[in-house]
Amino acid sequence: MTNEWHWRRRARAVRRRPKRVLFSLRHGIVQRYALCLSMLLTLHVVLQLSGENVTRFVPRTLRELRRSSNDWEGMKAKLMLEERFTVGAGEPEVRLISLKRARERHNLTSASLRQAGIGYRVFDAVDGLAPISEYSVSKYAGHKKAKRLELTRNWSEHHVMRTHARLQYTEEVDGKTRRALHERLRFGCYLSHVFLWETLVEEDLYFLVILEDDVLLATNFRYRLFRTLNLLPKSWDVLYLNGCFKRFGPTFREGLHLARGGLCTYGYVISRKGAETLLLEGALHSEKPIDHMLDEEVLSGNIVAFHADPPLVFLKANITSTLAYLHKTF
């Protein structure tokens, strides 16, 4: 009788254990969030008293809190069980994004590709200074972004270029208009990447290498690219060749990190699966620039991304952005 009572008690304890563990985990997460939120509120007050703008600080901090709470090690363990992605030694499909009105920008990138023996096609970037189709705006721009684009809908490219030579604004253009013009330029960049994803799906390619016109290739680019691709799991979506504000997750395999996020789209590889996922979900009705949208999709677990380490492309020095960032133009 004593034995039977003892084993029943142990069985009840085992049944309860997962709940206790789950409760303790939840309790720990709740404590962490409560602490972080209290710190945010304190910083919010301090910044307000000092006159600093908190409109960006708070959402960015909350985003990083979400990023740190994800189970990246668990994701890695799951991905390690998958079969590897396999690619032969053929020619990679490479697209180089370049604005027609700034063709000279891609000269060094083109020379770097030719020197590496890499075939490529130049993709005419969508110019935000030119008219943008209403269909593209309704499909890919969020409500707030669409309203900002509407402010400059009737501006012709000729008028903008004549009034704002080299995209440097004159004093007579108010801040609201400057922000709207900047939004048009960023949306043109956004559409350039999205249209290439559509091309990838339409042409039924396995993957596409997308480069912006201000990068140079690393040494032995072709060999290192194919080697890195063959280290990926079958379910990969995006491989960052380089970027900025890179968020490295755990090391996946040699020369490859699981990505916890990152900004800038200097150069990356996207799979057909990744393009389809983004075109059906993340890219639609977005309020974000292209790199921030990708970062959000990685952070949310909607796409599986990796960072090449060391990087396979590098940003050229002393190249002015064509997006006319407001802090650089006036």
Give the whole-angstrom CA distance, residue 200 versus residue 93: 9
The letter for the amino acid at 236 is W
The pLDDT value given to residue 209: 98
Strand 238-253 relative to strand 215-217, pairing: unpaired
Averaged pLDDT, groups of 10, the chain, 330 residues long: 47 41 42 57 52 65 83 95 88 93 86 94 91 94 92 60 47 64 90 97 95 94 95 97 95 96 95 97 96 95 96 80 44
- CB distance 72 to 260 below 8 Å: yes
- Tell me the pLDDT tens digit for each residue of 22-77: 333 344 555 555 555 555 565 555 455 445 455 677 777 888 888 888 899 999 99
- CB distance 193 to 288 below 8 Å: no
Q: Which of 265, 255, 323, 321 is nearest to 298 (CA)?
A: 265
- Tell me the pLDDT tens digit for each residue of 57-70: 777 788 888 888 88
Global pTM reads 0.78
Burial of 186 (0-12, 13-18, 19+ CB in 10 A): buried
- CB distance 245 to 260 below 8 Å: no
The pLDDT value given to residue 18: 39
- CB distance 166 to 138 below 8 Å: no
What DSSP assignment string belongs to 128-190? TTS---HHHHHHHB-HHHHHHHHTTTT--HHHHHHHSGGGPPPTTS-HHHHHHHHHHHHHHHH
Residue 170 sits at φ, ψ, to 5 deg, of -85, 165
The pLDDT value given to residue 181: 81
DSSP-derived letter for residue 116 is T
What DSSP assignment string belongs to 30-91? HHHHHHHHHHHHHHHHHHHHTT---TTHHHHHHHHHHHHHS-HHHHHHHHHTSPBP---SS-
Give the whole-angstrom CA distance, residue 260 versus residue 248: 6
Long-range contacts of 252-257 (CB under 8 A, 24+ apart): 252/76, 252/79, 252/80, 252/306, 255/224, 255/227, 255/228, 255/231, 255/308, 255/309, 255/310, 256/228, 256/231, 256/232, 256/306, 256/307, 256/308, 256/309, 257/306, 257/307, 257/309
